[in-house]
Chains A and B, each alone.
Chain A
Amino acid sequence: MSKTVEGSVPALSVHDLEVVFSTETGPVSAVRGVSLVVHPGEVLALVGESGSGKSTVALSVMGLLPGNATTSGIIKVAGGTIAVADEAAMCDARGRVMGMVFQEPSTALNPLLTIGLQIAEVVRNHDKSATRATARQKAIDLLTAVGIPRPEERVDHYPSQLSGGQRQRVVIAIAIANRPQLLIADEPTTALDVTVQANILDLLRTLAKEMNTAVLLVTHNMGVVADFAERVAVMFRGELVEIGAVEDVLLRPQHPYTQRLLDAVPRLAIAGSRREPQDPPSHLAVPVLELDNVDVVYGSGRRSFKALDGVTLSLAHGETLGLVGESGSGKSTAGRTAIGLLKPTAGAVRLFGKDLGTVRGRERKALLSQLGIVLQDPVASLDPRMSVADCIAEPMLVHLKSSAAERRKRVGELLDAVHLPAAVIGRYPHELSGGQRQRVSIARALILEPRLLIADEATSALDVSVQASVLSVLKELQDRLGFACLFISHDLAVVQEMAARVAVMRSGRVVESGPTETTLIAPRDEYTRDLLAAVPVPDPIVQRRRREERLAGMNQDRSLVGAP
């Protein structure tokens, strides 16, 4: 697959890289003996879970590690050795022979300077003859190259006036401004919606090919790897465990860790793949949750914003409904409205058959005691000053008269149910791992044996292997306890795995809903189709075909629009 000529100078070569961080608790070895080579025009993906050291490798190449890092080994970019100690040489190399695209486009740009000035900076850093005017013209050309519409106007805009995807395009424009030999992309699409992600990946691919730039892609997303990379290097606890062509590593992994990692990746079932049918939910009893033509409007007057627009949802006893959509689609707002945190501007919310808008006082409290909620960020949703036992027992304190002994017994049962060792009971949230914390959240949500569980992006912040175990705990408990679940997520593959029915949201509306097998396999709505087509699947061969189909579809749309 690799089209490189043997003997040519590699764009990047890393030999025996070691990185040690000195911390208060002693030295931590983050990267151990990593060696890799990326040739001009080639895309190498560096994958691994959080803490595997993949970003550390990327930052060492740029010489941007924090001050407490010590590195050894040899890094060469386009034949020149990277010597962090030589600040002047580093400044000369950064932005000229190597550029970098970062994860979070919302914070990667200086909020107080126009994007034109920020692009011009990298141009003038390396071309002393460039005047303000020529650098500005170059910035406009670069904005055109990265596909920003109306670049002459946009060049004077501030980052806050651009969408997330456009900001990432600006960051890319900065990275490629001086046609670097090496482009480092550290989780370049992780913070973006899937449809935006697909466009950004297309842009990176086109630019890299055009300039024959080597790309070091750091990512945890196997779909992105399958879509973009030619070779893959897998990192685990600071070591490189496997490296090879993308087809080999993703389809025929050799190392046990790679195999485990790939097993844990939730796979999007697509048309043609087989799937066991699930039991249709019973619609005999009163629905657990009903949203009836609900509107939610934020603000008032000219600045008002309709977050939910005539949303109707219904959730039967014991059923799991997946609520999917991109950021800003209103899926979290729907979840918050369902549990009474937001009051609908119009329409009704019925919880267990009772209208949340009319019940008050003790009756309302009793209703709310029958639901549990698990939020995205386990760090932010657990009180750092409460022990695990106190965190889990809190709903009991609020809703039930119970003795300390009863609470202790119940907490013990739940820790067992979420497969946490009893020893964590006296610990504090910061002493637990991300997956353990999210299990504590689940235990807390389930302590009152709720009839409805709301999971809002419950596994989005977790590594895939941890996500897999948390999802299996959730499924097992649902089978045992029979609660209904509103499963809110942007990840279509996870929703396919968890939910029997699904509702797709866009701009505050439900555009399509129905059984998961039909809605997410053969969608009727065009937006759902686009959404599904944009999800990269972790199989390079299938993904190449999907990408070509998607691009062909887009070109067709464009030619239709262009027709008189």
Chain B
Amino acid sequence: MEILRFMVKRAGQAVIVVFIVTIIVFLLLHSLPGGPARGVLGIQATPEQLELFNKEQGLDRPLVIQYLDYLGRLLQGNLGESFVLNASVSDLLSQRVPKTLVLSVLSAVVALSIAIPVGLWQAARRNRPADYALTALSFVAYATPVFFLGLVMIIVFTQWFPWLPSQAPQADTVWGIFAEPAALVLPVVTGALGMIAVFSRYMRSSTLDNLSEDYVRTALAKGTSRKVVLRRHVFRNSLTSVVTMLGYYIPVLFGGALVVEQLFNYPGMGLLFWNAAQTPDFPVLLGCVLIISIATVIGSLLADLTQVLIDPRVRESQ
């Protein structure tokens, strides 16, 4: 019951946040110089043609009216039509979003299932050679830009050792993507590497904090072995802060998807966003940003909820 009330409250806050995000993005897009007309019609277009386009799309009206118009249609579930692609934004998104979701979730799962044990292991061997080596490695992965990392992966695993395809699965359906598991490896691993670095560092420091807590000493005084103390007491306590971090990481995950999809020509939302930004294709960009902000808000909501589920102290304070 308490948890239900908490969720309703947070969902209400989430709606407000998404609403504010649409205002900000709308204002930012319309303050871009040039506007979409030139991008859509090309450099050959005459001023009359540009004016006509703006009139047709309603871009000559005051900004407030345009926004209210957009909001009104949004509330009816209408995200508008792409300026460039001959499709509605909703159709484009419903096609592309699941694919990006598959890529991001796979990357996150791979990353966490490596980062969490590695962080824990490093903390248990603090300041020993293995810890130093892994720390150095994770700093390298952390400091390398995703696009460069992806290029290196392509060169190594498709050119020097031609084991994997350099192009991601091109299937239209989500199930089609899984039909080519080999083609998924490079995009998923490229997306995961940076996250492994970040989260193993995070898990390591969170574990170290918890290892110096008094309850660890109490557990040892009971005759519980160090190994079991780590597994039974420290692991779950360390995880609580990592879970919170995960909620805030969703925008970063999307930023990674943008680059990864571009590199491996993966037809997800990232690629859609990238192409739309070149024009600029306002309705598509707005649609994507809307999805990302909703995902971010849901992400932090889920993080809070998980925290409530694993930590009784948070449960009480709600």
Contact = CB atoms under 8 A, between A and B. Distances in A.
A90 B226 CA distance: 11
Contact of B220 (A88, A94, A161): A94
B312 A160 contact: yes
Contact of A108 (B214, B223, B224, B316): B214
Interface in B120-176: none
Nearest to B233: A110
Contact of A111 (B215, B217, B219, B221): B215
A37 interface: no
A45 B225 CA distance: 29
A175 interface: yes
A104 B217 CA distance: 12
A456 B277 CA distance: 60
A484 to B, nearest CB: 39
Interface residues of A, number: 33
A91 interface: yes
Contacts of A102: 214, 217-218, 221
A95 B223 contact: yes
Contacts of B224: 91, 95, 121-122, 125
Given A102-B218, A121-B222, A174-B218, A160 B237 contact: no
A99 interface: yes
A201 interface: no
Contacts of B311: 111-112
- The B interface is mostly helix, strand or loop, or mixed, namely helix
A94 B221 contact: yes
A333 to B, nearest CB: 20
A93, A121, A161: most-surrounded residue (chain B CB, <10 A): A121
A91 B237 contact: no
Interface string B201-222: 0000000000001110111111
A64 interface: yes
B222 A160 contact: no
Contacts of A95: 221-224
A113 B219 CA distance: 12
Which 10 residue pairs spanning A and B have beta carbons closest together?
A: A95-B223, A122-B222, A158-B312, A107-B214, A95-B222, A94-B223, A110-B215, A100-B221, A125-B223, A160-B313
Contacts of B221: 62, 64, 94-95, 99-100, 102, 174-175
B310 interface: yes
A547 interface: no
A107 B220 CA distance: 14
A87 interface: yes
B236 interface: yes
A468 B10 CA distance: 53
A95 B313 CA distance: 27
A90, A96, A110, A158: most-surrounded residue (chain B CB, <10 A): A110
Contacts of B316: 160-161
Given A111-B313, A112-B236, 11 more contacts: A62-B221, A87-B226, A91-B223, A93-B223, A100-B218, A121-B222, A125-B222, A160-B313, A160-B316, A161-B316, A174-B222
